[in-house]
Amino acid sequence: MASFGELENLVAIVTGGSYGIGRATAIRLAEEGARVTILARGTDRLDQTLQMIEQRVGKGKAIAFAADVSDEQSAPLAFEKTLTAFGGMDIIINNAGWMKYAAIDETSLDLWQSTIAVQATASFLFAREGFRYWKNNQKAGNIIFVTSKAAQAAAANISAYSAAKAGVMHFARCLAEEGGPFNIRVNSVSPGAVLHDTALFTEQMRQETARKYGIPPEQLEEFYAKRSALKVMLTPQDVAEAILFLCSPKSANITGAVLTVDAGLGNAYLR
């Protein structure tokens, strides 16, 4: 007897799919039967993600293309390509992100606007396109926003990133209210620090973060693990499993929620 995954016959779009959480999520959704469209700025690692999916589930289950998700034309293009390839659209994972440390008096307008664009504007554009498609076609829909523990826990020198993520988290709750009558669910996943295979945590950021905490860069993983309640370091796969849950029928009656995946960080607990 053939076995079917939790997301069999569903179609998903994943932004920021060439690294870390986005890559792990795209792979995990495909493993559970979803057909997946993956977007990222560059093609090299994006093609790697596509190859990894094909190695696991075979060809024809995923497509990938490079795009600036903060550009207004990216979302309609993603939907057009997805509908052409798979005939439908059910899930949007707004995951693309960008971060740079800067004190507020050293934060340029360009840094502020580019941070808002990738985190918040892109999320708005893909959510808007999803609502238009689902409402016009009288179909159920599902959006998951990947935010950050920075949306809950204040920290110095990342105000642009934190403000964008906090805004996206509340934006998701507003959309949950708006989407409910149309059977459109909207939730957020709020990860803690993920240092493995991430475009956010560059070598420069590793050096700056280590300097901020007064520790050698090679001790960052241990430092982050020890400060959590569970004393473990997060992986992209940990976050992908939470996203999978919110995509699956198991969460059919959950909307407007924030699912934290941070191994327990007291200053980021929702309250």
Please report which residue ranges of 32-148 form alpha helices under DSSP H.
Answer: 44-57, 74-86, 109-116, 122-136
Q: Which of 16-20, 172-176, 267-271 has the lowest mean pLDDT?
A: 267-271
Overall average pLDDT of the 236-246 stretch: 97
- pLDDT tens string 106-123: 999 999 999 999 999 999
What architecture does CATH give domain 11-191+234-256?
3-Layer(aba) Sandwich (3.40)
pLDDT at 2 over 60: no
**Residue 93 CA neighbour count, 13 Å, CB half:** 36
* Helix, strand, coil percentages for the chain (3-state, nearest 5): 50, 15, 35
| Pair of tokens at residue 33 | 């039967």
Cβ count near 62 (within 10 Å): 28
The model's confidence at residue 196, banded by pLDDT at 50, 70 and 90, is: confident
Residue type, 60: G
Question: What is the pLDDT averaged over residues 148-166?
Answer: 92
246 close to 256: Cβ distance less than 8 angstroms: no
So what's the pLDDT on residue 38? 97
Q: Is 116 helix (H, G, I), strand (E, B) or coil?
A: helix
**139: confidence class by pLDDT, cuts 50, 70, 90:** very high
* Position 3 confidence tier, pLDDT thresholds 50, 70, 90: low
pLDDT in tens, 25-38: 999 999 999 999 99
The pLDDT value recorded for residue 1 is 34
For residue 86, give the amino acid letter.
F
Rounded Cα gap, residues 259 and 239, in angstroms: 10
Report the catalytic residues: 161
Query: Which sequence spans correspond to the domains of the chain?
Result: 11-191+234-256
Instruction: Judge whether residue 200 has pLDDT over 80.
Output: no
For residues 266 and 199, which has the higher predicted lDDT (pLDDT)? 266
Model pLDDT for residues 177-194, shown as the tens digit of each residue:
999 999 999 999 999 888
* Number of neighbours of residue 157 by Cβ within 10 angstroms: 17
